Each structure stands twice: as C-alpha cells, then as structure tokens.
Structure 1
Amino acid sequence: MAKKKEKKAGKRMNKKQLAEKLMQFFSERPNDVFSLKYIFSELKLTTHPLKMLCIDILHDMRADDYIAEIDKNKFKFNSHGKELVGTFRRKSNGKNFIVPEEGGDPIFIAERNSAHAMNNDKVRIMLFAKRRNRDAEGEVIEILERANDTFVGTLEVAKSYAFLVTENRTLANDIFIPKEKLKGGKTGDKAIVKVVEWPDKAKNPIGQVIDILGKAGDNTTEMHAILAEFGLPYVYPKNVETAADKISDIIPQEEIDKREDFRGITTFTIDPRDAKDFDDALSIRKLKDNLWEVGVHIADVTHYVKEGGIIDREGEKRATSVYLVDRTIPMLPERLSNYICSLRPDEEKLTYSVIFDITEKGEVKDFRIVHTIIKSDRRFTYEEAQQIIETGEGDFKEEVLTLNMIAKALREKRFSSGAINFDRYEVKFEIDEKGKPISVYFKEAKDSNKLIEEFMLLANRSVAEKIGKVPKNKKPKVFPYRIHDLPDPEKLDNLAQFIARFGYKIRTSGTKTDVSKSINHLLDDIQGKKEENLIETVSIRAMQKARYSVENIGHYGLAFEYYTHFTSPIRRYPDMMVHRLLTKYLDQGGRSVSAVKYEELCDHSSNMEQIAANAERASIKYKQVEFMMDKVGQVYDGVISGVTEWGLYVELNENKCEGMIPIRDLDDDYYEFDEKNYCLRGRKNKRTYSLGDVISVKVARANLEKKQLDFALVD
C-alpha cells in the first residue's frame, strides 16, 4: 500500500519541485560525485516519467553551470564561485581554454582576455556570467606560475629589429627581439629565445636570444632544435665533464679483494652494432649435468658516481640517455659511459651482478646479488650472435647456444604466465655523413636480442623480489619498482568492438591472466595478416604506460608481481637508485629510505622517460619528411593509421613514413568523425574511411620546418 502512495506522490511532483529538490541535494553535499542511479534511489524516483524529468533537469542544471558532469552520467555540484585556478592551454587559432584544477569542463578564454598567458601556465581566472546554451567563459586575472618561457624557431632579422618565427602550434604570434638582444643571430639561424616580457598593449611577446643553434636545415642544428623544443640538454656541461675526467680508471687491489672474481670465467657482451656503452655482460660455466651458473653482470656505475656529487646531480636531472635517429645524448659524461663503466672486451671492469644457478629448462635453483670484477672475453654484435644461433658455429658456440636454450625456456614460461607478446619492428634510417637519410630498413627482434632480453628481465625481477618479498608480518623497505597497471576497461571494450569487424574476439573480463592470454591469442592470430600492424597499434593504445613508483602493483605486461630496473645504470637513473639501495640494504643492512623522496625521483624519471620518447619520435618524423622531400608527386600504397576530426593519417607500406590527408582535401562531401569506430563518414554519400583501410596516396607536400607530410587521395 505504501509503495502505491509513493508512486502517486511521485507523479504529482512537477518540474519546479523536483528542480528544487535536486538543487538542495547537490548543495548539501558539495564535494561528492553522484551517479544517476544513486540520485534516482536517494530521491526515490521510482517511475520512468520521473526519471526522465530528472535527467532533463540535470541537463538544464549542467547548462546553467550549477553542476558539472565529471564523467558519463556522474554529476557534482559546481562549487567554483567567481574565481578559479587551472592550467592555461594556448592555441594558435586563438581558441584558448583553461583546465580547472578541481575537474569539470574546460573554460574558454578569448585571446583578448588571456593576459598573454603561455601554454601550460598556472593561472587564476574570473568567470563571466553564464549564458544559456553557451560554453563557460572567463578572463585571466593572474599568472600564478610560468610553465615555459623559452621557444625554438628561425630568426628573421631586419635593419633595426628581429623576430623569432616559431613552428610551435601554441604560439599565435612571433616573438619580437630588439637588435641588441640578438647574440649575433642572422636571418635563417635556428635560435632559442626567452620571452622576457609581453606588455599589455603589445601584440607580440618580447624576447632575447639565449643560444644560436646554427643554420636552419643543417642536420646537427635541427637535432639540437628538437632537443631544445622538449627542454632537453644538447650539450654536456663542461664542469661535469671535468669532474669525470678526474676519475681514475685504475682499480685498486683492495677493491678487487672485496669482490667475487669472475675474470677467469667465460664472459661476453652482446649489443647493437653501433653501441659504445656496454652496461651488461653474461658469464656462463657448467656446474654439473643440467645445471649452469649464469652471471648477469652490470656496470657498477655507482662505485664511480657518488650520491649528491656534481655528476650524480646532472644524471638525476637528465634521468635518461636520449636516443635520436643519428645520435645519443648520454645521461652520464662519455668518459664514464663509453670508457670507464663500459664493459669493453679484454679490460678488467667493476660490476654489480646477479648470479643464477639455473637448469636448461630455465628453473632457477638459487641466486645471489654480489659486487664482482669481470674481464669480458668477446664483444658480440646481435648479428654475430644470431649467426652462431642459426649455424651452430663460431666463437664460444657452446656457451651462446646454451644461453639461448635457457632463454627460450624462460620466455615460454613468461608467456604461459600471461605476459603480453608485443614483438614490434623498429624503423631505422641509413644516414650519410651529412645526416641525410638515404634508405629505410626495419629492425626485428631475433633470437640473439631475445636471449639478452630474457636474462635482463630475470635479473630485474630477481632484484625486485629480493627486496619486495618479505615475511607476512614485515614491511618491505622503500624501493623503486617498474610498474604497469591493468588495461583501461573502457579502452579494452573499444578494442573488442574494433577487432570484431575483422572477425576477432578478446576477453574483456575475467582474471588478469585470462585477459592477457586472450590478447596474446589475438596477436598470434593476426601475424602475417594485412591488419597485423593496425590491430597491434590499437591494442598498445589500450594498454597503460609503464612507470616508476615505490608503490608496487606489479607489472601487468610482463606478468611479474615484482619488477624493477637494475640492468642499465649507464643510461637510466632509476637503475642507479636501485644499485645504491641494494648496497645499502644487502651489504650494510641499512634502514629504509624516505618513500616521499624516492616517489618524487620516480615521478621525475617517468616524466623524463616520456619526454625523451617524444623527442625520439620527433627526430624520426623529421627524418621521414627529409627522406620524402624528393618524392613529392609519387604514388604509394598505404594503410589508414589514424583518424581524427582534422584528417586521416596514412602509413606507407614501403617505408612506414606517415603523413596526413587534411580534412579540407576530402572535398567530395561533408565528413563527420566517428570516434568510437575510428572512422570518417560522409554525410551525403555515406563513404567511410576507417582505421586500417588500404588506400593509395600521392605525396602532396613535405614541410621540414613543421615535420609534416601531406598526402592527397588517389582514386
């Protein structure tokens, strides 16, 4: 009976009454986020008409900016009053906006109301009164924190003044430079310019030249410009190099006496052809039938680089070496990275090692982590080691073949535990002495690469387990882990829908192992098919990014509960942190370090890794455009590799160069972007361009300044 009454009462509630109820509901709990379902239940909206009325009112309240939709059908009281703090996003088309710190929709800031805020500045804004059915708008009233005040571009020098013309898509105006602030720069020079002021009434910011990189178009100039664009250093500080030059390369006898001696045991390195920094070596000897001792020996960088010293501070700041197409920008000075610490053949070297007693089936019977001294017998390139694996002939063939057999067993185990198998090829350029790309080739991971990879993974995992695995009642000591979260559920669903059109299926629910095994099954199924590269790309997009943290959640992609980075201290700062903490905890029984300090170092390292990867991609893009400069007008077959509202990205089959067909060039119809199905669809003729479609294109334009290739459709 009561239920019937409630329904009747519900029916009698009109729009005004329900709106008042909703306003009271949100204002009483201003910090909470509510789902639609929860609102229905709390306000006892049991009938369909009432629920529909409620949704209607919620949309009105959102349009009036009374509430914000934080996520799909999740609402929160819009607590911002007249003022708000957020991150400013500058657009060269003048459609600037800020992203509020407290979440919610971006707020439009017209150029005239931007107070000349720069991209990513932290600003305070004043909100304008909300106009119905219009986006929220505001005005910058204070710049709280500048994000970036240096820009890279090309100088244009007139008689009494100059400009820096930037290719930066976030700056609509060129930077004005007074003649006396040019530092000798001439028209056509690439330069780094610092913005020193931007007067209220001035159209252009005013800057001064910090450094001249060289003539635009010159290879070294352009590579340095890419580094500078990402805020990465392109020269090594002299005082740091001087400090490295003072480090002795002579190993004192008392240091040797403290270490396990592996100089008499067969040891070698396997690295890329052009590598100079060998930071890992493998040793192997037979203990008895079906039991081998395998040593993973890593350059003992922290023996030479003292914590808090000038070299360490520079390494911490850089956090990683950067690998551009034609050069390496090392994390540590070259005297250390290519000479003292590099495990070069026939030279005695100090190492930090994980020594395994392991069977031919990859079962680890025992392992220990010790400081050692080694003397490498041979430096193999991957190609040379591959030759031995394929022919069974060559130097140290028994050792190489045994290591390969163990590595294959380790790899098989890893995949049966649910590790994900992304075996991607790398695009590489053959470059002449002037840095010009003359050909493109693809580098695939072969058995020799996988051999090294498996032993490095095993060492990294064993080190992480040594510190992270503790008895139930004990707390593990603070340690930097390499972590990788589960895939984003929404992206996984999108992937499942996307691959269905090609006739494939994956599991989107179940245990971690169930999901990863079904992804592996998919990757096996697509091998050799024309959609292979495309589905692999979309699958990778569904994955989270791996990062560093002291909070261990395991590594999903590798299917390891504990994982860290120990094996590359010459080129990664987290590995140096791991070496120091291992020594502190294992050798000296030291107390745990500060979690806050190390989490900050982990965050910094993760960020720098991402920036370095972006710079690397930009250098590849530059070389791709340079490679295609003399191919304008030529026709190629390709695959649609990306779909956006501004056009189609196409990857050419022959050389994997990627360019874009701008939406303005698809002039046979008005095209709409369907984000869910990765396609553009013509409104009138219903023609569809989808991710993965095979397509013929002509090279229309190659703009080296913008690192941009434009293609035109060939019908």
Structure 2
Amino acid sequence: MVGLLAAMGKKEQRAKGKILWNPKGYAFLSPQDSHEDIFIPAQGLNSAMDGDVVEVRVYHDRKGLRGSVTAVLSRAKTTVTGRYTRMKKGGLIQPLSPFPYTVKVPPGFEATARSGDIVTASIIPPKSAAGINSVAARVDSLLNIPEDVGDDLRYVATKHGIPWSFPDEVEIEAERVSHVDVERELSQRVDLRERVLFTIDGSTAQDFDDAVGLEKNSDGTFLLTVAIADVSHLVRRNSSLDREAFSRGFSVYFPETAIPMLPHVLSNGAMSLKPGEDRLAVVAEIHLGPRGRITGSRCYEAVIRSRARLTYEEINPFLEGTGQTPVDDQDIMWRLTALHSLTSHLSSRRRHRGSLDLDVRETVVILNSTGTVGKVSDRERGPGERLIEEAMLCANQVVCSFLQEHDVPVLYRVHECPRESDLQELYETLREIGMPKGDLAKFHRAVVSGGQRSQALQAVSDYFRNSQLSGFVNQHILRALMRARYSHEDLGHFGLATSGYLHFTSPIRRYPDLVIHRLIKRALQEGPMTEQERIKLNKYLKFVAGETSRREEITDEAMMEVTKLKIASYMAGHIGGEFSAVVTSIFPYGAFVEVLDPPVGGLIPSANRGRITGGQKKGRSKKQNVAVGEIITVRLTRADRLTGQLDFLLVRAEKNA
C-alpha cells in the first residue's frame, strides 16, 4: 500500500478487500493486493459488516490512508449478542460489544425471546451499500447460562454468543438416538471387540472419541488401528441435533468446565469410547513398515470395545523411564511401548519432509479445591501426547487419501504458505536479537527464494531451543504463519509440509470431523457420485468451511479470554513481585513483555518504561536502551480482574541468554 500511497498523489483510487471491525466502532480494510490496512471511519462503512468483501474509495489526509465503502461484493454471516427489549412493533437488541448500527428485530423474528433475555441474533444483510443507521436481525437462540457459573465464564460466554444449554428438542432427540442396537449393527460392521484397543487422554477428559491399537505382523511390519467414535450414525444431517452442532461448531473448554458441541448424553455417554463398553466406530487401519513408512490403509465401520482408559499423567513417566507400569496388562503394555517407538519414526519422517515442530508455549491454568486459581504454568507435551498426536496425524492423512481415491469431495484442513512480508518482518526481529550472521543469511535466502521455508523456520526454532528466548522466537515464528482453516479446496498444509490433509479424529468436539465421517460413509457406498450430487456437495462444503473456520476463531478467542481473566485473578495476589521477562514488542504507548515464569504477558506502559524510549513498532530506535528480545526484570503493578490486563514496571535490564 506504500506504493499505492505514492502513486496516488492527490488522485482518488479504489481498493478491494475484507472489512475488519474494531470494537470501538470503526473498521479497517485488509486489501487483497497489499499488507497495509486502510482506516474506515464509522460514517464510511455504508452498511458493510465485519468480514464482508467490499470495494472502497481510497483517499488520504494528514493522518494517512482513509476509505469509504462504495460496494459490498460479498456478505459474511454476522451475528450479534445482546439484551433483547420488546417494543410495540418488534424489538431492539442492545449489543454487549460495540456495534456500529442500531439492531432492530422485526415482528415475528424474535423467536421465543422476552424482554431482558440475552440473545444471539443473525444480522439480515442490507440490500445495498448505502449510509444506514440500523439493521434488522433474526433471533437465533437464548443464552440460558446456569446460575452457578462464575462471572468470568458468564461474561465471556455472553460476549461471544456461546450457548450454554441445549434447546429442549435437541436434548429430547439426543436421548432418543442414544439407545444403540449394537447387535443389529454387528451384522453390517466389522467386529473389532476382541482387538486390543485403548484410549489415552488427560486425566480430566470425559469425552473419549479416539482409541488406538497396534498389531505386529510376522514380517516385522505393523498394523495401526485408529478407531473414532461414529457420531455420524446418531447425528443425522439436518436433524435438530445436527443444526445445533453446526451452530456451535466446536466444544469450548474452560479451566473448570466445558461447553460441549453435543449434549452430554452423547458426548460423555453413548458416543464416548469407555472401557468395556461396545461402541460404534469409524476405523482407519494403517499398515506401517518397521520405521514408520505407510504401505497401505483402509477405512470401514466397526464395533469396538476399548480395553482400558490410560492417561497422559500415568504413561508419560513410564515412557520417559522414570515411572511405574501404568496398567497391569501385558497386552496393552507391549503395544504402548511399540507405539511409542513407531510414532517416533513417524515424527522423524514428518520432520524430514519439512514439517514444523515448534515448542510454542501454551499456558494452563490449574484450579485448587475451592475453584480459585492455584497455579499458572506451561502445558507439558510429553511422549504420550506426542504418541497420540502422530497417530492422529497419520490417520487424518490416510483418510484424506481414501476419500480422494474414491473421488469424493473433501473438507480439507489447510495451512497456506506464509507471506514473504511476514517472513521479512521475522527476519528483522531475528537480526535485532543477535542471531549469528551465517544462520541469519541462510534464513534470508530461504525467505527470498521461496524454497525450503519450513526447514528454514525449523532451523531457527532449533537454534534457540535451549535459550531463554525459545518461547519468544517460537511465538514470533507463529505470528509469521497464516492461520490454519477449513476449505473445500486442497491448498496444502504448510506446517505439516504436505497436501491432502483433513480433520477426522474428533467428531464429538469438532463439526468438520463429523462432516468427514459422513463423506467416508458416502465413499463406502456402492456406485459413483453423480455430477449433480458432486456440485451440490462441493457447494455445501464451501459453506461449511467458511462457517466452521469463523466459529473456530470465536471459540479460540473465548478460551483465550477466560485464560487471561483467570491469570489476572491469580496475579492479583502477586502485586509488587519481580519477574524475569522478555520484551516482545515496543510501541509509543509502552512495551509488551512475556514473563518467563509464570508464563504470563503484559504491558509496561510508557509512564512505567523508564529507559525504554523511542516508540518504533518493533523497537528499532537507536535511542532505545532496551530492545525487542532483551531479558529484563519487571515488577507487577496492576492486575485488572475485569479486563485481564497486567501492567509492569521496568526494574532493570538483564544479560541476554
């Protein structure tokens, strides 16, 4: 856009792109042909909504580039959460988050809402791009949040429009379909009840949707079984259950509870692969060589019986050689040990082809018996987690190949290649923190040439692996990458260095996986797909991809916000404490830092930053005595329980690690 600004002079230009709303009431245009956003004031929105693809008239004033929407090229689905008030004719919704238009509910569009109810509503798109003050909306659901839910969870669920309770008709349908006639199903499925299968999850997990097993053949090869709960058998497309699951998209996990995608009678009951219980499953059976090479696979419907429930907390010490045998069952133990070895080979093969393996910090909040935060720490990723991760990655790939071989359209999980400008920004950050010139030059060559970029990024991560800057560097690598999403087209997966990838292994908690199970069943049917069926299915998958990707972002934001609020409540008890931290970015209003232990982040406001002067975005001012990537000591001065904001005071600079 710098080129556009230079080329404009005083002439008017046009640009196309996506509208990104700011909670304060204005917006930005993210142009299709540039990486610099264009500011759109509220009066220039002209009926545009968040996510709409629009055309804008671009001009510039003393503050820079400005825009005014002239046409809406395509509409995104927009929802709003707020308090409903009944009026003489229709009603109004007072949004809980800033919204640039008055939201009116026409008569008959209020569903069962009564005055005072908190509702989620879909905006009815205006017909043209014109100056408007209000929009119409249709009430979708009421947010009935139980009385015993904490204020932080209540606030976040309401803000993001996450429904807590299920409608009565959905609960009734779930109860009805939960009674499975296993004997009837055995006549139509493969009976795997005698095969040794087991689940591995965290100790607090309640929905077990995947079980694994391993058989060793006489020639030294292996047969890996990944059995996934057959949710699609009970949740039929376009049923009340299906519509509710689609509207939720994903289960939402908070430190003290979870909001499931499906009612508990299914997610924790009839579908959960509990030990000793006969369950319906969709199976990916994978033939592997002794060193993890895939030599064949097949998919089918089965009835399974999990032999045991193992937990990461039990098996990690054992696999690390420091703990006792987690279960007194030799059939399971040799399989667990062999799986650990085999999936290590799978990991090595994945790394060899260029797959990324970043040790990105993930914060976990641990509650004590009173429900308050007792500890904030990094989530550990032990050998048990890696074992299951590799098995699931392998299953996802072979299922995608299965669908492609059967010429069935696919809902892909894609991760597009990073933009060169984002990688150049990462290069500048690495240069600032003192990465050796030789290693830096190798990375820059990969950025410019476009070849082996994933290997170059992994090399950067590996270089800092045992440094205090490891978390900082991996976080900046993550920022340089595109966000993974769902698509009806195979755009490849940069992070895994592969094409042909999807999500198959978690249909209890992810709607896209449920769609994949339905596609597998279509592939298992006799007879080719008609062209009309293919066109209709592709159109449906394109719609589902956009909606579930959008819902995934909302879910992630809600979970991160709750974590942020929990952290603030914990840190409020540590006001005045001093911590080692790394400077992650510097702006005119302050410097952002990440504390090394506990893993929390916050701001050193400009008034508290002492020797940090200047105000360049990436901390490149020569006047600065403290720079991006530097290890410093900070003192906590404020922990806002309402916003989650942490403020620090710079105490002193430390020596970089």
CA pair 91-294 structure 1, distance change in 2 beyond 3 A: closer
From 554, 564, 568, the equivalent of 1:621 is 564
Seen in structure 2, the aligned counterparts of structure 1 residues 140 and 696 have a Cα distance that, compared at 3 Å, is same
1:392 Cα deviation (Å)?
A: 7.6
Query: CA–CA distance in 2 between the matches of 1:193 and 1:331?
Result: 17
- Take 2:17 and 2:451, find their aligned partners in 1: how far apart are those partners? 43
SS of 1:679 mapped into structure 2: coil
Match of 1:321 in 2: 251
Give the number of aligned pairs. Answer: 604
Measure how far apart 1:403 and its partner are: 1.2
Is the aligned partner of 1:530 residue 2:468? yes
**CA shift in 2, pair 1:550/1:508, >3 Å:** farther
**1:16 aligned partner:** none
Using the TM superposition, give the Cα deviation of residue 219 of structure 1 relative to its aligned residue in structure 2, in angstroms: 5.7
* Aligned mate of 1:432, from 368, 373, 378: 368
CA-to-aligned-CA distance 1:476-531 (integer Å, 9 cap, x gap): 43111112222222222222332232224243556877332232222222111111
TM-score (norm. length: structure 1)? 0.74
1:539 is displaced (CA, Å) by 1.0
Is 1:542 equivalent to 2:480 in the alignment? yes
Partner of 2:410: 479
Q: Classify 1:86/1:617 alpha carbon distance in 2 versus 1 (closer, same or farther; 3 Å).
A: closer
Q: Counterpart of 1:649?
A: 592
8 Å CA contact 1:90–1:171 kept in 2: the answer is: no
Q: Secondary structure at the match of 1:700?
A: strand
Q: 2:354·2:497 contact (CA, 8 Å) conserved in 1?
A: yes
Distance 1:383 1:538, change over 3 A: same
Give SS of 2:217's match.
strand
Q: How does 1:605-616 map to 2 (within 5 A)?
A: 605-616=548-559
Indicate whether 1:690 and 2:627 are aligned.
Answer: yes
| 1:367-426 deviation digits (Å, cap 9, x = unpaired) | 211111111111000122224322584532211111111111111111111111113343
Larger gyration radius, structure 1 or structure 2: 1
**Structure 1 residue corresponding to 2:195, chosen from 265, 273, 290:** 265
Alpha carbons of 1:712 and 1:305: their partners in 2 closer, same or farther (altered >3 Å)? same
Which secondary structure does the structure 2 equivalent of 1:710 belong to?
A: strand
CA distance in 1, matches of 2:101, 2:451: 49
**Residues 135 and 401 of structure 1, relative CA distance in 2, 3 Å threshold:** closer
Q: Tell me which amino acid in the other structure corresponds to 1:540.
A: L
SS of equivalent residue, structure 2 residue 626: strand
Is the Cα contact below 8 Å between 1:481 and 1:551 reproduced in 2?
A: yes
Structure 2 unaligned spans of 5+? 84-92, 103-112, 124-132, 653-657
Match of 1:566 among 470, 480, 504: 504
- The amino acid that maps onto 2:597 is E
- Corresponding residue of 1:374: 304
- Does structure 2 conserve the Cα–Cα contact (< 8 Å) formed by 1:480 and 1:598? yes
Q: Distance in 2 between matches of 1:214 and 1:466?
A: 42
Range moving further from structure 2, 617-626 or 651-660: 651-660
Q: Distance in 2 between matches of 1:221 and 1:60?
A: 50
Do the aligned partners of 1:566 and 1:576 also contact (CA within 8 Å) in 2?
A: yes
Please state whether the residue corresponding to 1:605 is helix, strand or coil: helix
For the 8 Å contact 1:359–1:365, the answer to whether it is kept is yes
Say which SS state the counterpart of residue 273 (structure 2) adopts: coil
The one-letter code of the counterpart of 1:515 is R
Asked if the contact 1:484/1:545 (under 8 Å) is kept, the reply is yes
Give the match for residue 277 of structure 2: 347
**Shift in alpha-carbon separation, 1:219–1:255, aligned structure 2, 3 A:** closer
Give the equivalent residue in structure 2 for 1:704.
641
Q: CA deviation at 1:338?
A: 0.7
Measured in 2, the distance between the counterparts of 1:564 and 1:89 equals 30
Per the alignment, in what secondary structure is the counterpart of residue 672 of structure 1? coil
Judged with a 3 Å threshold, the aligned counterparts in structure 2 of structure 1 residues 183 and 536 are, in CA distance, closer, same or farther, namely same
1:342 match: secondary structure: coil
Task: Name 2:295's counterpart in structure 1.
Answer: 365
CA contact (8 A) 1:152 1:225 kept: no
Identity of aligned residues (%): 25
Residues 195 and 403 (structure 1), Cα distance of their counterparts in 2 relative to 1, 3 Å cut: closer
Aligned-pair CA distance for 1:252: 3.9
Q: SS in structure 2 opposite 1:713? A: strand
Shift of the 621–346 alpha-carbon distance from structure 1 to 2, 3 Å rule, reads: same
Task: Give me the whole-angstrom Cα distance separating, in 1, the residues matched to 2:430 and 2:466.
Answer: 16
Closer, same or farther in 2 for the Cα pair 1:660/1:256, shift >3 Å? same
Write the distance in 1 (CA, Å) between the matches of 2:17 and 2:214.
Answer: 60
Q: What is the CA–CA distance in structure 1 between the aligned matches of 2:405 and 2:372, rounded to whole Å?
A: 51
> Residue in 2 aligned with 1:502?
435
Q: Relative to structure 1, is the Cα distance of residues 285 and 117 closer, same or farther in structure 2, using a 3 angstrom cutoff?
A: closer
Distance change >3 Å, CA 297–CA 142, structure 1 → 2:
closer
> How much has 1:134 moved relative to structure 2?
6.6
Q: Give 1:44's aligned residue.
A: none
Decide which of 539, 555, 571 is 1:596's aligned counterpart. Answer: 539
Alignment of 1:76-115 (within 5 A): 78=14, 87=19, 89=21, 92=24, 96=26, 99=29, 113=43
Q: 1:307 is matched with which residue: 214, 226, 237? A: 237
Q: Partners of 2:596 and 2:9 in 1: how far apart?
A: 47
Do 1:164 and 1:193's aligned partners in 2 also have CA atoms closer than 8 Å?
no
Q: Is the 8 A contact 2:608 2:648 kept in 1?
A: no
String of CA shifts for 1:73-119, please: whole Å, max 9, x gaps: xxxxx4x9xxx998584664x8x4563989888776767x5799897
How well do the aligned residues superpose, as a CA RMSD in angstroms?
Answer: 4.2
Partners of 1:359 and 1:124 in 2: how far apart?
52
**Superposed displacement of residue 548, structure 1:** 1.4
Q: CA deviation at 1:184?
A: 9.4
Q: CA deviation at 1:647?
A: 2.0
Instruction: Return the match for 1:556 from 473, 490, 494.
Output: 494
Structure-1 residue corresponding to 2:8: 62
Cα distance in structure 2, aligned partners of 1:515 and 1:137: 35
Quote the Cα distance in structure 1 between the aligned partners of 2:358 and 2:18.
38
Once the two structures are superposed, what CA deviation does each residue of 1:325-354 show, in whole Å capped at 9, x if it has no partner?
Answer: 322211111111111111000001111101
Partner of 1:448: 384
Matched, 1:330 2:270: no
Match of 2:619 in 1: 679
Greater shift in the superposed pair: 362-371 or 341-350: 362-371
Say which of 479, 490, 497 aligns to 2:421: 490
CA distance in 1, matches of 2:452, 2:77: 43
